[in-house]
Chain A
Amino acid sequence: RKEVEQDPGPFNVPEGATVAFNCTYSNSASQSFFWYRQDCRKEPKLLMSVYSSGNEDGRFTAQLNRASQYISLLIRDSKLSDSATYLCVVNEGGSGGYQKVTFGTGTKLQVIP
């Protein structure tokens, strides 16, 4: 089983739609979670951290379910500019100052006019 798993997509959705992605992780001791966005052939950029209580940033909502070991990202009112690959990132913690960070392979979103 992969440490961090995402559905690669692509998710093709019309403008204005609501879309949700899930990401599962295998290490129950994982400490922190993030969603990064990566545009085609560009560098990943932090979209949002995922907090235990869930958090929202404009049209984006992130949720964490520790019992089932998954995180989710909900995008409301999709815009063409939301088209990108969304990477799930899990910080598994560690020792000696090092913290292991694992990236999912990403879910591709294509918003269609």
Chain B
Amino acid sequence: EAQVTQNPRYLITVTGKKLTVTCSQNMNHEYMSWYRQDPGLGLRQIYYSMNVEVTDKGDVPEGYKVSRKEKRNFPLILESPSPNQTSLYFCASSLYPLGGSYEQYFGPGTRLTVT
């Protein structure tokens, strides 16, 4: 089954404790993104990757890191989480967005609470 998986699905942590949220896709997609979703703000892109070892900042990258060492995996790293990073996080993947057709496949989400 074609899918994007994320782990963990739920996480409660304390300020300053480093954490990693994993993301993996089995569709051989080149393009992957991380989003956060907050009430009233919609989905905002944190980082994206156009291929292995190619990553770049989205709209809200502060406080986050990513890596893309393998095509299928795109982990999100919070080196020193703070309460304003409490949010619902989605990983997404798609075929390289050539032309106008562009569908993203989303993971099930990770609900993070930082106290």
Residue numbers of A with Cβ under 8 A of B are 8, 31-32, 34, 41-46, 49, 87, 91, 97-99, 101, 103-106
Rounded to whole angstroms, the CA-CA distance of A104 and B35 in the bound complex is 13
**Given contacts A32-B102, A91-B97, A91-B100, A98 and B50 within 8 Å (CB-CB):** yes
**How many A-B pairs fall under 8 Å by CB?**
51
List, sorted by A's number, 17 A–B pairs whose CB atoms are closer than 8 Å.
A31-B100, A32-B100, A34-B103, A43-B106, A43-B107, A43-B108, A44-B43, A44-B106, A46-B103, A49-B101, A87-B42, A87-B43, A91-B97, A91-B102, A97-B96, A101-B104, A103-B42
Q: Are A101 and B102 in contact (CB under 8 A)?
A: yes
Q: Are B90 and A104 in contact (CB under 8 A)?
A: no
Kindly list chain B residues whose C-beta atoms are within 8 Å of the C-beta of A34. 102-103
Residue numbers of B with Cβ under 8 A of A are 35, 40-45, 48, 50, 56, 88, 90, 96-97, 100-104, 106-109, 111
Q: Are A104 and B42 in contact (CB under 8 A)?
A: yes
Q: Are A105 and B40 in contact (CB under 8 A)?
A: yes
Quote the shortest CB–CB distance from A43 to chain B (angstroms).
4
From A45, which residue of chain B is reached at the shortest CB distance? B106
Q: Are A43 and B40 in contact (CB under 8 A)?
A: no
Kindly list chain A residues whose C-beta atoms are within 8 Å of the C-beta of B111. 41
Rounded to whole angstroms, the CA-CA distance of A41 and B9 in the bound complex is 11
Quote the shortest CB–CB distance from B2 to chain A (angstroms).
13
Q: Are B102 and A106 in contact (CB under 8 A)?
A: no
Rounded to whole angstroms, the CA-CA distance of A45 and B90 in the bound complex is 12
Kindly list chain B residues whose C-beta atoms are within 8 Å of the C-beta of A103. 35, 42-44
Kindly list chain A residues whose C-beta atoms are within 8 Å of the C-beta of B104. 44, 46, 101
